[in-house]
Chain A
């Protein structure tokens, strides 16, 4: 069956749903294709952190705007998304970690983020439950956390009400090009004729890019998380280790969420999402170390998810010269959830007006084909992202390679 579509979004995670919502709000009728269920992959298995601290500095303007949008999200989506803005503690246990943290805090202050370094006593004032190991932390008061399922579901519901069409349990098999441009998306059930495809497929983003002859320096990284039984409210901050070894929060219904890394995850290549016998216990050990008060709390579920890790740790956004009509929104490298509202807005702006209210040129696909100077060769997002415009610089480097 052949159907015409204004735009086809591949991937029904939080990004796909957010973009669909913003496009539908402006009158388009986007089609979203999702392999499993809405929020079935990373959007349904992440920790729901909404943070600015310890982000890549290039992402900071987007993150700061995203935090502002999260503040109004419950009004926009007309539902409670359990957003809590009570800060993020990144706990240090050694002088070395403190020193690294101090430097990174200075850098983050330079791009306009308000955060501070705390000594142990100040940490205890904010969170009296940390263990003896903690000697200091960085604290960003405007960070927080949110229920990831509800945000994804909220965007999905609103988009659907506004006229977006969702095809779940449907897999994209092929993207057909005509004269080098996107012409159609073929799934196992339907054929959608369209000239605009958004690749919001998360960890499958590389596969989708491969369908139009592009490739991304992206690989899946395995991550595990666990959740405990409900407990009376202890603290409201997002907490994490300075090096990101573990992170967690208490959810609004009382359970504690803890996710973490052991160090072997990036070498795990397996089909599906298995659980490993040593990762959960290692996360538990770290949790008990940092929060001894929780040691008798029951773990009721563990699960794993895949992170779409880019070689440089920041996402790929925007259009590309190579295949007109193909839009990247993928590779968020494990810290995309906090950006969802702003990405939804920026990508819809890009698709509707060919320009964005915040620059996204740092995230263009062209950055992987660097010129001699350490910069992307296109001049700002206008050249890099406009569907019809030709990027003269790009032609240059295309010849040079």
Chain B
């Protein structure tokens, strides 16, 4: 199998060729972005087992649980032949939810995924409206500084450097001032990057900097679950 995902790029290419139908081998998932395009352009999804289903959202229930989705690609033949909006979208957080807790229902998972997608959509619109105000000029001048280091809280390299130069000399200090590492992932993504910047600014080796204080819960837990733990 060449790829277990259909990405937006491929869908766009198919769109350019003018086709109104997309062929997807059995067991291959569609990325959320690709699914958006498919839905917006009302393309028909055709699985290679010749069962044709429209991509328009349907209301029927999802037969599979997140646990089964988390299985490696060898288990792909077990995947259902049809691609609904819900099941494809869920493909993204599936490995996460399977590991955290079985208490989380599919509704909650779906809710979280939808919220994340909504947030990205909103963010996508944001820079477009700001470009007119001249900020784009500054951005191109120091493009490395405008790199978003903490993705959860959208903190740029410039903001982190700024905080360090003002006097924050530890990861915890930078975290308090800039919010880098305070988001959903609690610095699991950005800590190494922030450490690098800090080490660079202070002129020390990254190993010499003190790590962020790690605080539980390691993965987000709902208040209801936490209260009963």
Q: Taking beta carbons and an 8 Å cutoff, which residues of A are in contact with B?
A: 36-40, 44, 149-150, 153, 156-157, 160, 166, 168-169, 226-229, 253, 275, 277, 280-281, 284-285, 287-288, 294-303
B215 and A298: CB pair below 8 A?
no
* Residues in B whose Cβ lies below 8 Å from that of A157: 166
Binds A, one of B21-29, B35-43, B141-149, B216-224: B216-224
B176 and A44: CB pair below 8 A?
yes
A169 and B176: CB pair below 8 A?
no
A300 and B184: CB pair below 8 A?
yes
* Residues in A whose Cβ lies below 8 Å from that of B169: 37, 168-169
Report the bound CA distance from A296 to B179 in whole Å. 24
Size of the chain B interface, CB-CB below 8 angstroms: 29
* Residues in B whose Cβ lies below 8 Å from that of A298: 184, 220-223
Report the bound CA distance from A300 to B223 in whole Å. 10
| 8 A–B contacts from the bound complex (CB under 8 Å) | A37-B169, A37-B172, A37-B176, A168-B167, A281-B226, A281-B228, A288-B227, A298-B184
B193: Cβ under 8 A from any A Cβ:
no
* Residues in B whose Cβ lies below 8 Å from that of A277: 229
B213: Cβ under 8 A from any A Cβ:
yes
Residue of B169, B224, B228, B229 contacting most chain A CB atoms (<10 Å): B224
B176 and A288: CB pair below 8 A?
no
Decide yes or no: A229 and B170 within 8 Å by CB, A288-B227, A299-B222 being known contacts. Answer: no
Decide yes or no: A301 and B176 within 8 Å by CB, A37-B170, A160-B167, A284-B227 being known contacts. Answer: no
* Residues in B whose Cβ lies below 8 Å from that of A39: 173, 176
B136: Cβ under 8 A from any A Cβ:
no
* Residues in A whose Cβ lies below 8 Å from that of B229: 277, 281
Residue of A166, A295, A300 contacting most chain B CB atoms (<10 Å): A300
CB distance from A86 to the nearest CB of B (A): 22
Give the residues from 151 to 197 in chain B that come closer than 8 angstroms, CB to CB, to chain A.
153, 166-170, 172-173, 176-177, 179, 182-184, 186
The interface residues of chain B, by DSSP majority, are classed as loop
Decide yes or no: A297 and B228 within 8 Å by CB, A149-B176, A149-B177 being known contacts. Answer: no
A153 and B170: CB pair below 8 A?
no
Decide yes or no: A40 and B172 within 8 Å by CB, A229-B184, A301-B186 being known contacts. Answer: yes
- The residue of chain B having its C-beta at the shortest distance from the C-beta of A255 within the complex is B182
* Residues in B whose Cβ lies below 8 Å from that of A228: 223
| Contact pick for B226, options A150, A156, A299, A303, CB 8 Å | A299
A153 and B227: CB pair below 8 A?
no
B173 and A296: CB pair below 8 A?
no
Decide yes or no: A302 and B217 within 8 Å by CB, A153-B177, A168-B169, A296-B223 being known contacts. Answer: yes
Residue of A156, A299, A303 contacting most chain B CB atoms (<10 Å): A299
- The residue of chain B having its C-beta at the shortest distance from the C-beta of A280 within the complex is B226
* Residues in A whose Cβ lies below 8 Å from that of B168: 37-38
B108 and A296: CB pair below 8 A?
yes
- The residue of chain B having its C-beta at the shortest distance from the C-beta of A258 within the complex is B223
Residue of A153, A156, A275 contacting most chain B CB atoms (<10 Å): A153
* Residues in A whose Cβ lies below 8 Å from that of B228: 281
| Contact pick for A301, options B108, B172, B173, B182, CB 8 Å | B182
* Residues in A whose Cβ lies below 8 Å from that of B166: 153, 156-157, 160
* Residues in B whose Cβ lies below 8 Å from that of A149: 176-177
* Residues in A whose Cβ lies below 8 Å from that of B184: 229, 298, 300
CB distance from B56 to the nearest CB of A (A): 28
* Residues in A whose Cβ lies below 8 Å from that of B176: 37, 39, 44, 149, 153
Report the bound CA distance from A288 to B224 in whole Å. 7
Known: A150-B177, A168-B167, A297-B223. 6 other contacts (CB 8 A): A149-B176, A284-B224, A285-B227, A287-B227, A298-B222, A301-B215
Report the bound CA distance from A44 to B182 in whole Å. 13
| Contact pick for B186, options A36, A169, A300, CB 8 Å | A300
For the complex of A and B, 4 pairs with smallest distance between CB atoms: A37-B173, A298-B220, A284-B227, A149-B176
Decide yes or no: A295 and B224 within 8 Å by CB, A37-B173, A38-B167 being known contacts. Answer: yes
CB distance from B123 to the nearest CB of A (A): 13
A299 and B220: CB pair below 8 A?
yes
CB distance from B108 to the nearest CB of A (A): 6
* Residues in B whose Cβ lies below 8 Å from that of A150: 177
Residue of B108, B166, B167, B169 contacting most chain A CB atoms (<10 Å): B167
Report the bound CA distance from A309 to B175 in whole Å. 27
A275 and B177: CB pair below 8 A?
no
A36 and B222: CB pair below 8 A?
no
* Residues in A whose Cβ lies below 8 Å from that of B222: 295-299
- The residue of chain A having its C-beta at the shortest distance from the C-beta of B181 within the complex is A301
* Residues in B whose Cβ lies below 8 Å from that of A285: 227
